Amino acid sequence: MNTLLFAGQGAQAVGMGRDLAEAYPECKEFYTKANEILGYDLARICWEGPESELVKSNHCQPAIFITSAVCWQALRRERKALAIQSTAGLSLGEWTALWLAEAVSFEGTLRILEARGRFIQEACEEREGAMLSVIGLEPEKLKAVAADAGVEIANYNSPEQTVLSGARAGIQTAEKLAKEAGAKRAILLNVAGAYHSTLMASAARRLEAFIHDVPIRPPCLPVVSNVTGQPHGTPEDIRRQMVLQVTSPVQWIACVQGLKKQGVTRYIECGPGRVLSGLVKRIHPEAELCNVQDGPSLAKTIAILPA
């Protein structure tokens, strides 16, 4: 069984998607449509930067969505008969997965992610936050560290890696406590704020209001929720969980374990970077991993997949 994976914020890189857009007219059309919908040149920001513009959340989130969609379109062009049984994404990538499953339209997803990115950026500016990646510390010890530092767990990325989120002072305390507790590494992340924590509550409220009237349909294939690690249900369930996702920890381990139980044997990551492939390797090591982020990776992947 094949499942598609879609990356979240942080995977962006200046130049992403350009060679596929130049190789496939239908891929270039995605960027053209995005420019028309958003009213600015998102393609130029993706392809030329500057990086200072690309990393802004209201640019970055729709940019990663469009590039991920382009990577999927290029793969589908080369392997029309490829069967996809399920899909998942990390954070904003979950919206890409919902688009793939036809739960949300292309325009709807693009507008949601521009707004979501803007709301998150505003929340970051309201309160100074930070995030810490902790490697090699047992979950129970890490929960104690988080409680003592007054921060929260934001991402259960893999058995070895968990991310904490919260006020900057609390994260600095957590860094010290995690190392004292025996963590192999504790790394401050280069992010604008405390994603997937209660510091994002204002962004969640604004997103809830924004998506209230956006049409959401039942997905045509299973889309795994970051909040529950289980496939999404009704459109109202989707709406509710996608708001909760902004302030809730990403249950990526549970997502991959759930896909494994469903019988997934191959993961295809579509979009910039290979972060999700690296995490899956640590959770489901026997699975086959492929990715499409540019021309060379597309060629490598289609050589693996049946014609």
At 138-183, the pLDDT tens digits run 989 999 999 999 999 999 999 999 999 999 999 999 999 999 999 9
Domain boundary among 188, 212, 227: 188
> What is the mean pLDDT of the segment spanning 32-36?
97
**Residue closest to 280 by CA, chosen among 144, 122, 88:** 88
Same domain membership, residue 110 and residue 225:
yes
> What is the mean pLDDT of the segment spanning 274-284?
97
Same domain membership, residue 207 and residue 288:
yes
**Per the residue annotation, which of 59, 196, 232, 284 is the catalytic one?**
196
pLDDT band at residue 259 under the 50/70/90 scheme = very high
Same domain membership, residue 231 and residue 88:
yes
> What is the mean pLDDT of the segment spanning 249-265?
97
> What is the mean pLDDT of the segment spanning 179-204?
96
pLDDT at 306: 82
Same domain membership, residue 258 and residue 117:
yes
Q: Which contacts qualify for 45-54: CB closer than 8 Å, 24 or more apart?
A: 46/14, 46/15, 46/16, 46/17, 46/18, 47/14, 47/15, 47/16, 47/17, 47/18, 47/21, 48/14, 48/15, 49/14, 50/14, 51/14, 54/12, 54/14
Say which CATH number the domain at 225 has: 3.40.366.10
Cα 75 from Cα 301, distance rounded (Å): 8
Domain boundary among 141, 161, 188: 188
Phi, psi (5° rounding) for residue 278?
-65, -40
Domain residue limits at 268: 2-125+197-304
Same domain membership, residue 136 and residue 262:
no
pLDDT at 190: 85
Query: Based on the structure, what is the number of domains in the chain?
Result: 2
User: Is pLDDT of 307 > 80?
Assistant: no
**Per the residue annotation, which of 68, 86, 91, 297 is the catalytic one?**
91
Say which CATH number the domain at 170 has: 3.30.70.250
Same domain membership, residue 117 and residue 37:
yes
Secondary structure (3-state) at 273: coil
Same domain membership, residue 230 and residue 215:
yes
Same domain membership, residue 169 and residue 136:
yes
212 has catalytic annotation: no
Same domain membership, residue 223 and residue 264:
yes
pLDDT band at residue 186 under the 50/70/90 scheme = very high
Say if residues 194 and 166 touch (Cβ distance below 8 Å).
yes
For residue range 15-24, list pLDDT tens digits in order: 999 999 999 9
pLDDT at 28: 97
Same domain membership, residue 239 and residue 297:
yes
Domain boundary among 156, 188, 220: 188
Same domain membership, residue 26 and residue 103:
yes
pLDDT band at residue 228 under the 50/70/90 scheme = very high
Same domain membership, residue 201 and residue 179:
no
165 has catalytic annotation: no
**Beta strands of the chain (E only): which ranges?**
2-6, 86-89, 129-135, 152-156, 161-167, 185-188, 266-270, 288-292
User: Is pLDDT of 195 > 80?
Assistant: yes
